[in-house]
C-alpha cells in the first residue's frame, strides 16, 4: 500500500472529537447512577481510549507534509521541519474521461504557491509522459488561471509564471502521474486571495523530435484549491544605494524572505526611459530586468563567465543555494523592479535572521546585513 493510500485510510479511521466524546460518554455511563463502575468496565474504557489515541496519532504521522514538497525544496528532515507549519492538507479532486485529478497538499508564501497532486487514468493506461524525446508541458491553458477571494469573486493578479512537473515515482509505465505544480508571482499575491482555480484540461506533452505540443490524454478537470492564509515570510525595508547601472544609481528598497523564497526590490534614482527601437535601448532594458540574474545579465553584455549577482548567506556564514526564477517591473512605477528567487534548499527563518545578502549591481558589490527581518503582514 502506498503512502497516499495510507493517508486516505487513516483520514477515514481517525475519530472526530464528537465521536471520541460519544464513545467515552457511553462507556462511562453505569446502569444505575448510584452504582460504581466495575473494574472490568474501567479496563474496557482505558483500552478503547488507548485505541483512539493510537488511531489519532497514526493518522497525524502519516498525514504529515507531502514528500514531493520536501524533495522539491531540498530534501531531508530539516526541510520537513521547516515546511510542516506552513503546509496545508487539502482534498480536492475532479474526474473526467475515466481519469481522476487529486490535489493533496498546498504551500504558499507572498510570492509563490506549490501544489502536490496525483493524476490517475484507467487501469491499463500508460502515462509515460517523460521520455528521451518528450516531457510533460502543461494541463490546460496557463492563461486561464483564476484567483478568488473568500466571497468567490475574482482577484486580479499581475504577471505570473507556472509549471507542472511530472515526478519520478519509480513506475514510469503505469497509469499514475505524481505531480507538483509551482507558481510564482513577482508582483506579490494579495492575502485576500483565498483560493486558486486551475483550468486543468488535456494533458499535453512537448515533443522534441518535431518541436511541437501534443495532447497525451483528453479531459477537463477544473480544480478550486484553497490556499493557506498565513505568511511564513519576513521582510526588511531599506533605502540604500547598492550600485549604478546605465548612468543611474540603484537603491535597495526591500528584501522579503521565506523558507522557500527571496524577493529583492530595486529602484532607479533616474527615470527609466529608453528607445526600444535601438539595439542599445534594448540592451539597457535587459540589463535593468536582469540586474540580479547573473546568467542572463552576462549573456546580455557578452560577459564570460557569468557571476552570481545575489548571494544569500545565513547567520553562520553558510551560502544558501537558490535560483533566479522570475522578475517583473512595477507597471505603476517602471523605475522599480522585483527580482524573485527560489531557495532550492528550504531554510529556517531563524537561520536567515542575522545573515547577509551580497548584491552585485553593475560593476559594484555591496554586503547587506539582514539584522532587522520582521514577520511579513
Residues 170 and 230 sit within 8 Å (Cβ to Cβ): no
d(CA 60, CA 13): 11
Helix axes 17-28, 39-62, angle to 10 degrees: 170
Q: What is the CATH topology of the domain spanning 67-226?
A: Immunoglobulin-like (2.60.40)
The neighbouring-strand residues paired with 201 are 220
d(CA 104, CA 88): 9
Residue 66, pLDDT score:
94
Question: Looking at the chain, how many residues does it have?
Answer: 377
Helix, strand, coil distribution of the chain in percent, nearest 5: 25, 40, 35
Listing DSSP states for 291-311 in one string gives TT-HHHHHHHHT-SS---SEE
Residue 344, pLDDT score:
95
Residue 322, pLDDT score:
95
Residue 44, pLDDT score:
44
The mean pLDDT values, 10 residues at a time, for the chain of 377 residues are 40 42 40 39 41 36 76 92 93 97 96 96 94 86 83 88 90 94 91 92 92 94 94 96 96 97 96 88 90 88 84 97 86 87 96 97 95 94
Q: Which residue has the cell 465521536?
A: 19
d(CA 222, CA 366): 47
Q: C-alpha cell of 229?
A: 492564509
Single pTM value for the model? 0.80
Residue 52, pLDDT score:
38
Residue 137, pLDDT score:
86
Say if domain 234-375 classifies as CATH 3.90.380: no
Residue 142, pLDDT score:
66
Distance between first and last Cα of the chain: 42
Listing DSSP states for 163-230 in one string gives EEEEE--S-TTSSEEEEEEEEE-TT---TT--EEEE--EEEEEEETTTTEEEEEEEEE--EEEE---S
Residues 223 and 104 sit within 8 Å (Cβ to Cβ): no
d(CA 178, CA 130): 12
Q: C-alpha cell of 201?
A: 484540461
Residue 30, pLDDT score:
38
Structure letter (DSSP) for residue 21? H
Residues 148 and 224 sit within 8 Å (Cβ to Cβ): yes
Peptide bond into 203 cis (omega under 30): no
Amino acid at each position: 500500500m502506498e503512502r497516499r493510500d495510507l493517508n486516505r485510510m487513516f483520514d477515514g479511521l481517525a475519530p472526530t472529537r464528537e465521536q471520541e466524546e460519544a464513545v467515552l460518554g457511553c462507556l462511562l455511563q453505569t446502569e444505575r447512577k448510584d452504582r460504581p463502575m466495575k473494574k472490568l468496565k474501567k479496563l474496557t474504557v482505558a483500552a478503547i481510549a488507548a485505541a483512539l489515541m493510537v488511531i489519532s496519532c497514526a493518522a497525524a504521522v502519516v498525514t504529515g507534509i507531502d514528500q514531493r514538497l520536501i524533495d522539491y525544496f531540498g530534501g531531508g528532515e530539516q526541510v520537513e521541519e521547516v515546511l510542516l507549519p506552513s503546509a496545508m492538507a487539502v482534498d480536492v479532486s475532479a474526474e473526467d474521461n475515466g481519469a481522476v485529478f487529486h490535489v493533496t497538499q498546498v504551500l504558499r508564501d507572498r510570492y509563490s504557491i506549490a501544489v502536490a497532486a496525483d493524476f490517475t487514468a484507467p487501469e491499463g493506461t500508460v502515462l509515460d509522459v517523460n521520455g528521451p524525446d518528450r516531457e510533460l508541458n502543461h494541463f490546460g491553458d496557463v492563461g486561464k488561471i483564476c484567483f478568488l477571494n473568500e466571497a468567490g469573486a475574482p482577484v486580479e493578479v499581475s504577471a505570473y509564471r507556472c509549471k507542472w512537473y511530472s515526478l519520478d515515482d519509480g513506475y514510469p509505465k503505469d497509469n499514475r502521474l505524481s505531480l507538483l505544480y509551482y507558481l510564482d508571482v513577482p508582483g506579490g499575491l494579495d492575502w485576500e486571495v483565498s483560493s486558486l482555480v486551475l483550468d486543468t484540461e488535456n494533458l499535453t506533452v512537448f515533443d522534441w523530435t518535431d518541436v511541437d505540443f501534443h495532447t497525451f490524454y483528453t479531459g477537463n478537470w477544473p480544480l478550486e484549491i484553497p490556499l493557506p492564509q498565513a505568511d511564513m515570510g519576513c521582510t526588511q525595508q531599506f533605502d540604500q544605494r547598492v550600485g549604478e547601472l546605465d548612468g543611474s544609481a540603484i537603491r535597495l528598497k526591500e528584501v522579503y524572505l521565506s523558507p522557500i523564497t527571496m524577493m529583492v526590490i530595486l529602484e532607479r534614482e533616474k527615470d527609466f526611459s529608453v528607445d526600444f527601437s535601438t539595439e542599445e535601448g534594448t540592451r539597457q532594458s535587459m540589463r535593468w530586468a536582469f540586474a540580479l540574474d547573473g546568467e542572463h545579465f552576462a549573456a546580455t553584455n557578452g560577459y564570460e563567465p557569468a557571476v552570481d549577482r545575489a548571494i544569500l548567506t545565513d547567520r553562520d556564514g553558510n551560502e544558501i543555494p537558490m535560483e533566479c526564477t522570475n522578475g517583473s517591473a512595477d507597471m505603476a512605477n517602471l523605475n522599480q523592479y522585483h527580482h524573485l528567487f527560489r531557495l532550492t534548499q528550504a531554510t529556517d527563518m531563524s537561520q536567515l535572521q542575522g545573515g547577509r545578502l551580497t548584491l552585485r549591481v553593475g560593476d559594484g558589490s555591496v554586503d547587506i546585513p539582514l539584522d532587522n527581518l520582521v514577520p511579513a503582514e
